[in-house]
Amino acid sequence: MAGVDFVDVRKSFGAFPVIKGVNIEIEDGEFVILVGPSGCGKSTLLRMLAGLENITAGEIRIGNRVVNRLPPKDRDIAMVFQNYALYPHMTVRDNMAFSLMLKGSARGDIDKSVGAAADILGLSRLLDRYPRQLSGGQRQRVAMGRAIVRDPQVFLFDEPLSNLDAKLRVAMRAEIKELHQRLKTTTVYVTHDQIEAMTMADKIVVMHDGIVEQIGAPLDLYDQPANLFVAGFIGSPAMNMLNGRLDANNPNAFLSVDGTALPVARPAAAARGRNLIYGLRPEYLSLDPNGLPAEVVVIEPTGYETQMIVKLGGAEVTGVFRERVNARPGETIRLAIDSQHVHLFDAETGRRLI
* 211 binding ligand ATP? (CB under 6 A): no
How many other C-beta atoms can be found within 10 angstroms of the C-beta atom of residue 295?
Answer: 15
* 259 binding ligand ATP? (CB under 6 A): no
- The distance of closest approach from Cβ of residue 69 to ligand ATP in the complex, given in angstroms and rounded to an integer, is 19
* 194 binding ligand ATP? (CB under 6 A): no
* 38 binding ligand ATP? (CB under 6 A): yes
* 192 binding ligand ATP? (CB under 6 A): yes
41, 218, 313, 319: which one contacts ligand ATP (CB under 6 A)? Answer: 41
Q: Would you say 13 or 87 has its CB closer to ligand ATP?
A: 13
* 99 binding ligand ATP? (CB under 6 A): no
Evaluate whether 22 touches 212 at the Cβ level (below 8 Å): yes
* 44 binding ligand ATP? (CB under 6 A): yes
* 79 binding ligand ATP? (CB under 6 A): no
6, 9, 35, 43: which one contacts ligand ATP (CB under 6 A)? Answer: 43
DSSP summary character for residue 71: -
* 162 binding ligand ATP? (CB under 6 A): no
Q: Taking contact as CB under 6 A, which single stretch among the options 39-47, 173-181, 285-293, 345-353 is the one that binds ligand ATP?
A: 39-47
Integer angstrom CA distances of residue 231 from 8, 34, 67? 25, 16, 34
Q: Taking contact as CB under 6 A, which single stretch among the options 31-39, 227-235, 236-244, 279-287 is the one that binds ligand ATP?
A: 31-39
Strands in 343-346's sheet, in edge-to-edge order, are 261-263, 250-256, 240-247, 276-280, 343-346
Q: Would you say 42 or 139 has its CB closer to ligand ATP?
A: 42
Beta strands 77-80 and 154-158 are parallel
* 64 binding ligand ATP? (CB under 6 A): no
- The distance of closest approach from Cβ of residue 170 to ligand ATP in the complex, given in angstroms and rounded to an integer, is 20
- The distance of closest approach from Cβ of residue 201 to ligand ATP in the complex, given in angstroms and rounded to an integer, is 16
DSSP summary character for residue 352: B
23, 39, 54, 266: which one contacts ligand ATP (CB under 6 A)? Answer: 39
Q: Between residue 270 and residue 329, which ones bind ligand ATP under the rule CB under 6 A?
A: none
* 87 binding ligand ATP? (CB under 6 A): no
Report the alpha-carbon angle 55-57-61, nearest 5: 65
Residues with Cβ within 8 Å of 272's Cβ and at least 6 positions away in sequence, in order, are 246, 251
Torsion of CA 291, 297, 299, 305, to 10 degrees: -40
Q: Taking contact as CB under 6 A, which single stretch among the options 38-46, 100-108, 110-118, 323-331 is the one that binds ligand ATP?
A: 38-46
- The distance of closest approach from Cβ of residue 162 to ligand ATP in the complex, given in angstroms and rounded to an integer, is 9
Evaluate whether 277 touches 344 at the Cβ level (below 8 Å): yes
* 160 binding ligand ATP? (CB under 6 A): no
Please tell me whether residue 122 adopts helix, strand or coil conformation: coil
1, 7, 10, 18: which one contacts ligand ATP (CB under 6 A)? Answer: 18
| C-alpha 117: how far from chain center | 27
* 13 binding ligand ATP? (CB under 6 A): yes
Q: Give residue number: closest CB to ligand ATP.
A: 43
Cα–Cα distance between 262 and 312 in angstroms, integer? 10
Please report the beta strands in 142-275, taking only residues with DSSP state E, as ranges in sequence order: 154-158, 186-191, 203-208, 211-216, 240-247, 250-256, 261-263
Evaluate whether 284 touches 320 at the Cβ level (below 8 Å): no
Interface residue list for ligand ATP (CB under 6 A)? 13, 18, 36, 38-44, 192
